[in-house]
Structure 1
Amino acid sequence: MSPAVAKLVPEETVFFLCDVQTRFKNVIFSFDEIVLTINKMLKIAKVLEIPVVVTEQNPKGLGNTIPDIDLPSLGPLLVATIEKGLFSMMTPEVKALLHERPHIKSVVLLGIESHVCVLQSALDLIDLGYNVYVIADGVSSCNKEEIPFALARIRQSGGYITTSESAAFQLQRVFFITTHGGAYSSIPGDAGLPGFKLFSNVVKEEKDNTARTLQKLLQPHPVL
């Protein structure tokens, strides 16, 4: 029997944003590009109503999440911004948030640093049974050479390495509801439906930014 294939479903997904704080701006490889990817994914979160959890590592010393990231626009979709001392995002507070949402099966990870906080968060989440998707054009480290090894380690442990656009299209699952003798049926992923228009607009608006981030983040160090 073939193993089950994990698929991203909006209603079962949460976005985790790890430690993209002001003090890191001038030391993280391709920092501006990962901010572009994060804002793109936040737009997707708004269109598809996906909750977002943010952590900040020692914000008194490292600052808060950089204001270039448009967290206020999320409104109630921003579940929490949690201060942490651990490298992993899986603090008691974050574990409690997930425990309160037993329908969540998948976590989409963005942020820094790939080989420290992102890696340890991914391993902890995988260990707890979640499907973990790391956005390769949305994570980075101080030293770019660390990134592919961190992503390879996550993949070896059962995580999924993908890109922002690929993940976005997996999450875009609009449904056409029809009746047949009182029964309902649905067709997922129908690009002709009105709900697809908002999603499509985001993809088009972000086209140049997507190309920029892929060229900067993935070409120098392809995923192992």
Structure 2
Amino acid sequence: MRPILEDEAMLIARDRSALVLIDWQARLLPALEGSEAALATAGRLLAAARRLSVPVLATEQYPKGLGRTDPRLGEALQPDEVLEKTYFNAAAEASIATAVERLRRPLLVLAGAEAHVCVLQTALGLTARGYQVAVVADALASRRASDKELGVERMRQTGVQIVSAEMVLFEWIGEAATPEFRDLLDLIK
């Protein structure tokens, strides 16, 4: 194994990262602008994470009221990967903070709803705890496009990386001449 070069430390490498899916709850999705496309993108990220052995966590904001994770994602999650929360900032929830620590991954890739509330507050909370955070812009939804835009802009201003799903997929793969690249082409196209 060759040493990691300084410029490569900025990459979203699969052995340094984990995927955190925030509040993709079935009852919430119909109220969110662009939720179908964003959910499909989150599903591609989840499928890639599974194939590449990237750890995954998912949160559910007050599931008694908002329901469980949409089955399009939920069926691919293990019960111990789905954590309930009442704080908008998932990092403030003790069980989630502990679960993230146990992953031992310094970089967290976030996708979820709502961009300007729970995703924003979680990104800020995780950053304050010393994690690098990358938020997948095309895997975000909010009730209004203007709120999503403001949430993304605020995250960017506070040092959170704003990325696309394709950026994450290609950085997780790393090289074209690999079985992983051929295996994941269906998620990229």
Q: TM-score, normalised by structure 2?
A: 0.90
**Unaligned 5+ runs, structure 2:** 1-5
Number of the residue aligned with 1:198: 183
Q: CA deviation at 1:72?
A: 3.0
Would the alpha carbon gap of residues 38 and 4 (structure 1) be closer, same or farther in structure 2, given more than 3 Å must change? closer
Number of the residue aligned with 2:159: 158
Q: 2:14 aligns with which of 10, 17, 22?
A: 10
Q: For 2:133, give the aligned amino acid.
A: V
Q: Assess if the C-alpha contact under 8 Å between 2:52 and 2:180 holds in 1.
A: no
Runs of 4 or more consecutive aligned structure 1 residues displaced over 6 Å after TM superposition? none
Q: Which stretch of structure 1 is more off in the superposition, 3-12 or 146-155? A: 3-12
The 2-side partners of 1:161 and 1:193 are apart by 27
Alpha-carbon deviations, 1:73-112, whole Å to 9, x = none?
Answer: 355xx7521111100111111111122233x011010110
Identity %: 30
Paired residues in the alignment total: 183
Q: For 1:101, give the aligned amino acid.
A: L
1:42-191 alignment, distance < 5 Å: 42-69=46-73, 71-74=74-77, 79-90=80-91, 91-102=93-104, 104-173=105-174, 189=175, 191=176
**Unaligned 5+ runs, structure 1:** 174-188, 205-224
Number of the residue aligned with 2:3: none
Q: Assess if the C-alpha contact under 8 Å between 1:58 and 1:84 holds in 2.
A: yes
Q: For 1:170, give the aligned amino acid.
A: E
Q: Based on CA coordinates, which of the two structures has the bigger radius of gyration?
A: 1
The 2-side partners of 1:15 and 1:4 are apart by 19
Would the alpha carbon gap of residues 169 and 79 (structure 1) be closer, same or farther in structure 2, given more than 3 Å must change? farther
Q: 1:28 aligns with which of 32, 35, 47?
A: 32
Q: For 2:99, give the aligned amino acid.
A: L
Alpha-carbon deviations, 1:126-162, whole Å to 9, x = none?
Answer: 1111111111110011111111111111111111001
Q: Assess if the C-alpha contact under 8 Å between 1:52 and 1:79 holds in 2.
A: no
The 1-side partners of 2:39 and 2:182 are apart by 24
Q: For 2:101, give the aligned amino acid.
A: H
The 2-side partners of 1:98 and 1:65 are apart by 19
